Structure 1
Amino acid sequence: MIPLRLELTNFLSYRQTAVLDFNSIHLACISGLNGAGKSSILDAITWALFGKSRSKSDDDVVNRLAILEEGTAEVKFTFILEGNAYRVVRRKRFGKSGALEFQVASGDDHWKTLSESKMRETQIAIEQLLRMNYDTFTNASFLLQGKADEFTTKTPGRRKEILADLLGVSQWDRYKEAAAARRKEEEGRMQLLQGQLAEIEAELAEEEERKTLLAAAQAELATISERRAVKEQLLQQARQTETAVKQQRQLVQTMQQNLQREQRKLHDLQQTAAQRQQEQTAYQAILAEAATITADYAAWQEADSTLQIWQNKADAYNRLQQAKRPFELTLTQERSRLEQQQRELEKRQREVAAARDEQQTVTQQLAAGQSQLAQLETDLSALAEQEQAWQSARDELHRLQSEHKLLAQQVDQLQGQAKRIEALRQEETAVTQNQQAAQTRLTDLTAQLAALAVQRDQYSRSLADRDSLEADQPRLREQMNKLKERIDRLTTEVGGSCPLCGQPLSEAHRQDVLAELQTEGKELGDRFRINKERLAALVQEVADLEKQLKRLPQVERDQQAQQQRLAQAEAKLAEIAQTIAAWEADEAPRLAQLTAQFADDAALQAQQQQVNQLATAVQEKVRLEKAQQTQQRHVSTLSARLTELDRLITTWDKEGEAQLAQVAETLLAKTYASDAQTELARLDAEAVALAYDNAAHEAVRATRNALAEAAPRYQQLQQAEAAVKPLQDSLLELQQRIAEQEQSVAELTTQQETAVSQLDTLTANSGELRTIEDEVYELRETESIRQRTVGAAQ
């Protein structure tokens, strides 16, 4: 396969269409920075040919920007194989199924499609053309990035399959299977021909008997043929009769349909005539009441005119009532406002009366509260000195407690260090054991490395010997072959000169030279066999040494690990020894000293007792201070309330009482909203002048409603007068058409009955058709059997 052209669109990092033309290129190197798209070019080739690449799925090969625009990834790959140009086009849209086209060049810029009906079948066709699949391609002709050892890491069985595909061995297996199938087919045909030949020879032995049977069979066949001809003539006549029956039955059906259609027309005309007759009767009934309908209509017109006059007055009266509503609303709102103001002022009047009574009570409570507050201040002054002494004692107690707490923290810290020192002593024992184990293991590994070094030297010598013998053996074989050729030439030569040295070839000379050549051949053969045995031993020895030397990297890694382990153990032991020495020199004596100080708490206990004794007086002072604060809040509340009551009473005496008297007088005299009252009076006068009577209006309305049917009845009378004459003419025409239609139905009935009678006659004469057909069928079957019998006999 020789690549010619590669086109990439929306494929991996290639957003725009990129074209690579391989014409006139024999060796190419693709170079560029990381991520420039070098590997994408090779991925495009494998994806086009096999639908596979380094990406996990086909969706991953679509360019990310193209996905946002719903673009399609497309790769076109053109190549030459066995003198023909082929093109593979593969497309994929994100989240959709892909498309695959396979084409072959059929002329200038013309391509013939080789695609199958299904994408999978097209892929199989491509792989059959290339004679390799994706695995074979990537293990032989193409190395994936980061997978150069793809072939070597496969199992032996898989490597054998790939090599077989590359060398075409599998193709010879298919040839072998095809040849075996063809051989089996030909052997079957040979057996069939042999069987037919045996049957023919057996039949030739029965020739006379078969001639007799043939004559009898021919006579019987002639009789059956004559009977079949007679029956077929009868069958033709019966079928003609059957055809006439079918035609007559079709005629009867057509006439029946025509008769039904004419009967429906007659029925429709009769229904129309009945409807027109009902309409005429209704119109005549309306015309009989013409005088009454005319009088009622005149009375309805008069009542309607009178009702319109009263309706006009009602509309004017309603407009006046509508005009009064804003003024009535203004009057109502003003009266409601004054009444609400009166209720609020009366409420304040009651509140002021209650405030006058509350004023006396609050004045008395305020005097008693101030007296209690003075007594509390006296008692608190007496307790101030005791509180000062308690405060000093408590400060001293806090100082002693802080010092004791600090001692406890220091003791805890040192005790924690003591526990860590003890843990270090235990760890020191474990690390010492680990150091000894590492030293022992290191000594063993050093001995193993020394032994492997000896084996490595031996391996190098054995490998050199093996290579030398492998190179020497072909040379020895070639010398032996040449020597054998010289012996053969000397043995077969008769007379003349010696083919080896050119001297006259006598028998003595022949034997001398042969003896010399055979001796030299024996030495070469012995040397070749010795070398072969030595080479076999060296091959085994090299294999054994290679097996042993495979352990060398692991042993070296183990030695390095043990050396690191030993160094870490020694460093850890030094660190532990230094830490323990520092503890025993400084921190251990200090822990003993601080523990003794912490146990002596006599001064702390004495100070605590003194604070408890002074705390009683302080608690009493706290109680008195809370009582003082409560009493102060109570006195402040009473003072504020008394001030509020004074303000409320003073404000009412100055303003509220006069406002209440004025509002009550205004409501009693109705002197509010004077403009609205004036407009209401004017509108009431206009309503009286209008003289609208609602009872008279309703009476006229009832009269007109009682005559509501007069107008529709008058319209019906006008319609009846206009429709009577055309309706009479229409009835006469319908009666004439009904008579004609009845005559047509009678004629069609007679014709249909005649056709039915003829059909019955024909049907009675065609009953033997099925019997004749059965007889003809049986005779034809019998004739066919006899013909095969005659054919077999012939």
Structure 2
Amino acid sequence: MIPKQLTLRNFLSYRATTLNFDGLQVACVSGPNGSGKSSLLEAIAWAVWGHSRTVAEDDVIHLGTLEAQVDFTFEHQQQLYRVVRSRRRHQGGSLEFQVQTEQGWRPLTQRGMRATQQLICQTLRLDYETFVNSAYLRQGRADEFMLKRPSERKQILADLLKLGQYDDLANKAKDRAREAKATVSLLETSVANLEVQVQQRGAIAQQAKALEAHLTTLQQTDEADQTRHQQLAQQQQQRQTLVQSQSLLEQQLSHNRTETERLAAEMAKVTTQWQAVTAILEQAEEIAAGLAQLQDLETEDEAFSAKFQQQQTLQAERDRHYQAHQIQAQQLQTQRQQQQQERDRIIQQLADLEPILQKRAAVQEALVALTQARDRLQHLDQVQLQVSPLRQRQQMLQRQLDQTQAELTARLTALANSEYQLQQQQAQQPQLQQAVLAVGHTLEDLTAKRAYQEKVREKGIERRHFMERLQAEQRSYETQLGHIEQKLQLLQQPDAACPVCDRPLDQHNWDDVLQKHQTEREELQREIWVIREQLAVSEREIQVLRQEYRELEEEIASYGHILEQRGSLMAQLNSNASVAQQLAALGQERSHLERCLQERNYAQDLQAELQQIEAQLVQLAYDERDHALARGQVDRLRWAEIRQAEIRQAERQQTQLLERQPQLEAAIATLETEITALKESDTVKAIVQRDEQLAALGYSLDQHQALRAQLKTAQAWRLRHQQLQQAQQQQPQLQQQLAALADQQQQVADQQTELTTQRQTLAAQLAQCPDVQSELQQVQQRQRDRQQQREQHLSQLGALRQQLVQFDQLQDQLTQQQQDLHQARRGYRVHQELATAFGRNGLQALLIEHLLPQLEAETNHLLGRLSAHQLHVQFVTQRAGRSRQGKLIDTLDIVIADAQGTRPYETYSGGEAFRVNFAIRLALARLLAQRSGTPLRTLIIDEGFGTQDREGCDRLIGAINAIAADFACILAVTHIPHFREAFETRIDVCKTPDGSQLLLSR
């Protein structure tokens, strides 16, 4: 991640500022304490990851404002990205993520801030914790690693390496091991219970066989009763048929009596209707006279309705003309009022323009001064265009010279370090030979133990296979023993048959069979006892072999390390052969580099070009302060142009207003004339004409209503006329209905006589058929009792069979649970081993052990630059304990050595301690960036350099410049003046009443 531009608005101590990082490779952020230096760097972390040093999220908002926003543009893998994060007080925040394309900024923002934040981390492959421990060296954390105890240092490394995930895995493995152990306990109990239950199957089978025999007897008895039941049911069915026929005749007789009564009632109803129709036909003349009177009233009502329609039409026309007259009058009044208001507004505007026009003379004088100041500024701008590229080239040449000198110095330092290491290596030749011999003897012993361990493992596998064969034989014998036990139980029952051929046995044969099965049972029990003894002995042998295997495993655990150590020693021994030649070559190169540095005999073309550029700058004599004063004078006089534009605008407005005023006076007079003429218009005349026509029409609403009341009373004659027409139509129909009803009454009487004869015949047949219902119920009761008993036996038999099925299922379940028990025990062992492997002494310790050599090498490389190779750091992971056995214990001690020897960390001065802390901190940052898979392109150093003298600061600056080629941007934060002056590019931060401000100087 390479920063390109940072824009702040109301963030912490800043109100509004923008910092462009283009051209900032190595820069110093300086300013007094509390000015906002760290806040500038906090803005980057807050924009990208949403983290800051504040406790509450709203605390990042500048005091007195409502919303804070940070706009950060950066480059990552040759692609330009932009992050905009904002937060509004008490209302939450927003996050936008964009990428630059040929068409412009394309949004990558996801649905929700959490998803967008996750996409940013995935794009950068860098989270906040790795950032603050690698690219961002935060203030006050330089000596954090050194001041911790050895155990806490390991914990810091574990946290930085994010080894906590292995703790989570270890805890999960422990949880699963506990679950597996609980499962093993439950399965062991369940298997024991199932074995007890399965042994009860033989007794249940005997009970089921007895119930099946009893059910056969009940079935035979029930068949005889079923035959008798069928005979009695046929007789009873014949009697029921006769009873039903008799009941049907009684129903038909009852229906005939009901039909007779219905016909009589209908005859009376029709007779009544005939009389009513006859009475209506007698009033025909009176109904015709009333209908004629109704028709006369309807004709008169139509005449009144026509006059009513004419009156409504005239009244609507009068209302329309009146409304049009009112609208015209209102429009003219509104227009006159608008014209009067516009006339008053023009008068007021003319009065407001007068003060502006009175400033013409003062503005003309200021414009003349502005023209002179702009000519001066234009001249200085042209000189600046000539000076700026010269200064940029001067800085670039100076930076290249400094970088060349730093590279030569770094190379000289590396040569001295390499020469020292080669001398030490050459002096260690005898010790290496002795060490190689000692390691060789140790490897021979460990190789012999590994071969013996393999034999122990093969012996254990052989014993395990032997135990599996014994267990299979034991299960076979136990199955045979179970079958014999079932046969013995069958022989104990009275009149028992042969359990093999199922034939009856006499007393002699029964004794022989019983004796034979008892003998087989004893032999099987002896075989099972022998197998159990052999299993116990084999188990003890396996335990002994397992213990011996573990002891050998512990002894040969260091085999790989010893083998690696021997390879390393052999490589060192082989490399010592060319040490002398390397020392001679290094000495020649070191002498050459020292002469070049003393005589400044390097980059001659750059030095010559630099001197030429400095002479040109002296000739141009450009001063930035004069340029700034000229620019300020132009800014101060720009008000004259604004006032000149205002005066011209006022003159144009005055001319327009004076032209508009007479037009408005004429328009107001015209509107007053139109209002007077409206009173004699055609609309008023039309209203008077409609009033005269309404008076001449002579329509009376009271007469019309009285006529409608008479018409409503006469409407009854129309109804009576309709009734007369219906009576004339109904008279022939009623005569036909009376004749039909008389015929139906005669037919019903004949059917009644026939049904009475049939009832007497059925009564004689029913007397000859006896009632066997009582005997039939007795037979049915016996069948129900027997069926109930049979159902009980069937229920018991079903229950027994279900138990047998359950026993078979239990046997399958027992087999399955035995397999599950084996798997659970295996899972328990596996997860115990995983918990140990993921623990602090497993993979975590191996990862830290692998990291420490890299950390030590990187630290000493940086510390050599900072201390002229006077300081050296060594990480010690093991030391002798206080016990007499001298057992090694794990630790993480940091041993610091200088030219006088090894001393505790507390005895070093503040400047020396800071250099050690800074080197370790920067080495950790580089390693973390490498492990995250993201190159460390940006380095932010927010540390206190107050413990360093001038020489120490120069070494720090030299070290920073030496590593500058590895980074695209390095920012160092300090408030020390002489440290600030050592940087060519500076970002000065100052606090003002309007918030912190930035000043970039190159």
Which interval holds the TM-score relative to the shorter structure?
0.3 to 0.5
Larger proportion of helix: 1
* Larger RCO (CA under 8 A, 6+ residues apart): 2
The TM-score, its normalising length taken from structure 2, stands at 0.30
Larger proportion of strand: 2
Higher Cα radius of gyration = 1
